[in-house]
Amino acid sequence: MAKKFPILQATTPEGVAIDIIECSKPRVKRILKGNNAVQKLLASLPAKDIQAYRGRVKPKKTCKRPSYYNAVLIQSRGTLGQPCDWCASKPNNGPFLDCRSASGFFGGSCANCKWRDRASKCSHVEPKKAKVDETSAVDKDKE
């Protein structure tokens, strides 16, 4: 039932094996168009293709699990800034190569923290907004 989006395999100039998700392509936009109001709004913003470490973003799982889905939306619509504390302390642990956040969405959590459902712990999130933050990840989908 979950739709899959295509993934391209590539290698960075440094030789790191990555997957490219072409979020800017209409075909992928149609699949990742959002299910609820927040996701739809985020999905309506201009999208960029995103890079993930090879094999970490699985299309089917991503479409089913809200935290994964939201993380892909954040990464493709968000902006690059200073890495959050988690991304800075554990480089290569998240699925995405760089730390991006979408201002005004999910408390401003970066996509790598959102991915593993730790949005409220992301150092980019303002403490007062942290409570609202996990609401779209209440789905009980198990790993």
**In the complex, which residues of this chain contact Zn ion (CB under 5 A)?**
84, 86-87, 99, 110, 112-113, 122
Please tell me the number of Cα atoms within 13 Å of 131 on its side-chain side. 1
Residue closer to Zn ion (CB basis): 52 or 113 = 113
Residue closer to Zn ion (CB basis): 39 or 75 = 75
Least Å distance, CB 79 to Zn ion, is 12
Least Å distance, CB 87 to Zn ion, is 3
CA dihedral 59, 44, 101, 139 (to 10 degrees): -50
Least Å distance, CB 27 to Zn ion, is 28
Alpha-carbon span 119 to 1, nearest angstrom: 27
Alpha-carbon span 6 to 4, nearest angstrom: 7
Least Å distance, CB 9 to Zn ion, is 24
Least Å distance, CB 6 to Zn ion, is 25
Q: Please give the structure tokens belonging to residue 32.
A: 């990742």
Look at residue 21 and give its three-state secondary structure: strand
Residue closer to Zn ion (CB basis): 59 or 108 = 108
Alpha-carbon span 72 to 96, nearest angstrom: 9
Residue closer to Zn ion (CB basis): 31 or 123 = 123
| Residue 62 phi, psi (nearest 5) | -65, -40
Q: Please give the structure tokens belonging to residue 31.
A: 């699949």
Residue closer to Zn ion (CB basis): 63 or 122 = 122
